[in-house]
Amino acid sequence: MLNWSLPAGCCGLIFDCDGTLIDSMPLHYQAWVAVLRRHNLDFPEALFYEWAGVSVEEIVRRLAEAQERVVDAGTIAEERDHCFHSLAQSALRPVDAVVEIARRFHGQLPLAVATGSTQASAEASLRGIGILNLFDAVVSSHDVGRPKPAPDVFFVAAERIAVAPADCVAFEDGAAGLQAAREAGMHVVDIRRWLPPHREE
């Protein structure tokens, strides 16, 4: 069993989804490459991991602006989600250490997911590894005004589980998400040390 203890005074847990609860980042990158190739956009793998936690549409906008292309970010985001779901149907795996924590505190503390992905994508992934039922709320970047690295998604997640942000622990794997959780005033756990070897950074 993972040797992790709940900080004193904390009474709510908030988890990022992709790369934190689910070892899905390589599949996400595969979907990005397949879709962006059709739109003549390039997405270097190092940049993909650097932008972990940033919303799908925001990533498309950044890439298009940097590469001086005019695209429909919403349409490309939908294509990418569809491609990811087709790849992920039988290939998703949990990040065991983080899922263990969620299972340990399910029914004892309120739990939420705060994701830069769409709600449909996050719920499908969580359902795919059998843990959607552990969470009292799933909050996506579409539910808030500003995506990560702004703290909005964490504030909304804390509100949905009725716990003050300062009394929440946030679990994250990406720089944008870690910054967002810290700006929300939460206790922050960088889970990258618990990731499988191919994702350690």
Catalytic pick among 16, 23, 152, 173: 16
Q: What DSSP designation does 170 have?
A: E
The pTM (predicted TM-score) of the whole model is 0.86
Two tokens, residue 3: 């040797």
Q: What DSSP designation does 6 have?
A: P
13 beta partners:
111, 169
Which residues fall within 8 angstroms of residue 192, CB to CB, at 6 or more apart?
173, 199, 200, 201
Are 187 and 178 contacting, i.e. CB atoms less than 8 angstroms apart?
A: no
User: What is the structure's pLDDT at 199?
Assistant: 47
Catalytic residue list contains 16: yes
- Cα dihedral 42/25/173/58 (nearest 10): 40
CA dihedral over 75, 62, 120, 36, signed as positive or negative: positive
User: What is the structure's pLDDT at 2?
Assistant: 78
CA separation for the pair 118, 123 (Å, rounded): 9
112 beta partners:
14, 137
User: What is the structure's pLDDT at 197?
Assistant: 67
Integer distance in angstroms from the first to the last C-alpha of the chain? 23
Domains with residue ranges and CATH for the chain: 12-23+92-199 (3.40.50.1000), 25-88 (1.10.150)
Residue with tokens 């340990």: 104
Are 12 and 166 contacting, i.e. CB atoms less than 8 angstroms apart?
A: no
CA separation for the pair 132, 32 (Å, rounded): 24
157-160 long-range contacts (CB < 8 A, ≥24 apart) are: 157/14, 157/112, 157/113, 157/114, 158/12, 158/14, 158/112, 158/184, 158/186, 160/112, 160/136
| pLDDT tens for the 201 residues of the chain, in order | 678 999 999 999 999 999 999 998 888 899 999 999 999 999 999 999 889 888 888 999 999 999 999 999 999 999 998 898 888 766 789 999 999 999 999 999 999 999 988 888 899 889 989 999 999 999 998 898 898 999 999 999 999 999 999 999 999 999 999 999 999 999 999 999 988 665 444
Q: How confident is the prediction for the chain on average, in pLDDT? A: 92
Tell me how crowded residue 161 is: count the other CB atoms within 10 A of its CB: 19
User: What is the structure's pLDDT at 90?
Assistant: 66
Q: What DSSP designation does 141 have?
A: G
User: What is the structure's pLDDT at 156?
Assistant: 97
